[in-house]
Amino acid sequence: MRLLQYVGKRLLQLIPVLLGVSVIIFTISHVLPGNPVYLFVGIDTTPEEIEAITKRLGLDKPLHEQYFIWLGNVLRGDLGDSWFTSESVAQDLIRRFPATFEMTTAALLLSIAMGVPLGVLSAVYRNSWIDNISRGITLLGVSVPSFWLGLLLIYVLFYLLRIFPPPSGRIGLLISPPDRITGLYLVDSVLTGNWKAFSSSAQHLALPVITQALVTLAPITRLMRSSMLEVLGSEYIQAARANGVPDRQIYFRDALRNALLAPLTFVALVYGNLLGGSVVLERIFSWPGIGRYALESIVVKDYNAVQGFVLLAAVLYVLVFLIVDILYFVIDPRITA
């Protein structure tokens, strides 16, 4: 009941945030220099024709009127058509987003699954060999750029060792993707019982996910370590020890929950960013996600597509933070609605 109230309140608060985002996106695309009408017309177009096209596109109307028309379209799910793919931007994004979502979510889960235990262990066994190993891994993760790491992994794990398939997209070239239900190949192939597609898409997912996870793992581990150290030094942990609570319970029951609070925000930040698509990794692994779509749209000045992408990225970011706020609310009783 308390939770529902909190979620409702947070959802209401999203309305002004998203309106603000829409104003910014609309304004930016309309203050860009150059008249978009010229993109439609040839060199020998008469001024009358230009005026007619301007009228047809609604660009002669006052700016605020144009905004409301655009907003109305957006609310109906119409983000305009892409001049490059000549399809609706919304369709383009819906088709590509699952690729990004699948990769980044898998990468994030992997980096949490490794980073949290590694951080906890390095805090509990501070300055031991395990702490030093984790320090080494995280130092590498922080200092190696993702494009280089991606290329290195492709070179070693595909080219030299042939463990993983070539970076040719989400699934083997000769294998047809599973029937689309969610757009996530792993999920869809399980749902349709298509094990051939499952195995191929899992293998194709591996390299980009490992690359992304190694990069994300580093800060999560460091943050988890410092947060855990701080909690372990706190008065209530000392008090629990004085009450005869065994170490194992101290670490996993008393300390861990408290120590997770700080890294949670960071994870949200990373996830929000990643969901907007990793331009670099999607390019290296020929991954058909929204990051690559955005890059290509920018190159060809496809304004509707760019606008649609930025709007989607902003909405995803806001949603991730909504989820994290709800998680905080569930974990930490000090947060009230």
- Residues 172 to 201: which contact other proteins by CB under 8 A? none
- Residues 105 to 164: which contact other proteins by CB under 8 A? none
Closer CB to other proteins, 62 or 333, in the complex: 333
Tokens 């290329």, residue located: 151
Q: How far is the CB of 246 from other proteins (least distance, A)?
A: 6
Closer CB to other proteins, 46 or 243, in the complex: 243
Which residue, 211, 216, 224, is CA-closest to 116? 224
Residue 42 is a binding residue for other proteins (CB under 8 A): no
Distance CA 36, CA 301 (A): 10
DSSP assignment string, 125-190? TTTSHHHHHHHHHHHHHHHS-HHHHHHHHIIIIIIIT--S--S-SSS-TTSPPPPPSSS-HHHHHH
Q: How far is the CB of 151 from other proteins (least distance, A)?
A: 43
Closer CB to other proteins, 162 or 248, in the complex: 248
> How many residues sit close enough to other proteins to count as binding (CB under 8 A)?
20
Q: Is there a contact between 68 and 283 (Cβ–Cβ < 8 Å)?
A: no
Q: How far is the CB of 333 from other proteins (least distance, A)?
A: 4
Report which DSSP code applies to 253.
I
Q: What tokens does 291 get? A: 């990051």
Closer CB to other proteins, 214 or 232, in the complex: 232
Report which DSSP code applies to 103.
H
Q: How far is the CB of 326 from other proteins (least distance, A)?
A: 16
Q: How far is the CB of 233 from other proteins (least distance, A)?
A: 7
Tokens 């309309």, residue located: 30
Distance CA 234, CA 279 (A): 42
Name the segment binding other proteins (CB under 8 A); options: 83-91, 108-116, 290-298, 329-337: 329-337
Closer CB to other proteins, 31 or 242, in the complex: 242
Residue 333 is a binding residue for other proteins (CB under 8 A): yes
Phi, psi dihedrals of residue 88, rounded to the nearest 5°: -70, 140
Q: How far is the CB of 241 from other proteins (least distance, A)?
A: 5
Distance CA 134, CA 129 (A): 9
Closer CB to other proteins, 14 or 237, in the complex: 237
Work out the number of other CB atoms within 10 angstroms of the CB of residue 233: 10
Q: How far is CA 49 from CA 38, 57, 60, 131, 170, in A?
A: 11, 12, 14, 71, 45
Closer CB to other proteins, 136 or 233, in the complex: 233
Q: How far is the CB of 324 from other proteins (least distance, A)?
A: 17
Closer CB to other proteins, 14 or 240, in the complex: 240
Distance CA 92, CA 177 (A): 18
Name the segment binding other proteins (CB under 8 A); options: 55-63, 164-172, 199-207, 328-336: 328-336
- Residues 218 to 257: which contact other proteins by CB under 8 A? 233-236, 238-246, 254, 257
Q: How far is the CB of 261 from other proteins (least distance, A)?
A: 9
Name the segment binding other proteins (CB under 8 A); options: 47-55, 94-102, 138-146, 327-335: 327-335
Q: Is there a contact between 188 and 224 (Cβ–Cβ < 8 Å)?
A: no
Q: How far is the CB of 148 from other proteins (least distance, A)?
A: 38
Phi, psi dihedrals of residue 81, rounded to the nearest 5°: -100, 150
- Residues 258 to 297: which contact other proteins by CB under 8 A? 258
Which residues would be at the binding site for other proteins (CB under 8 A)?
Answer: 233-236, 238-246, 254, 257-258, 331-334
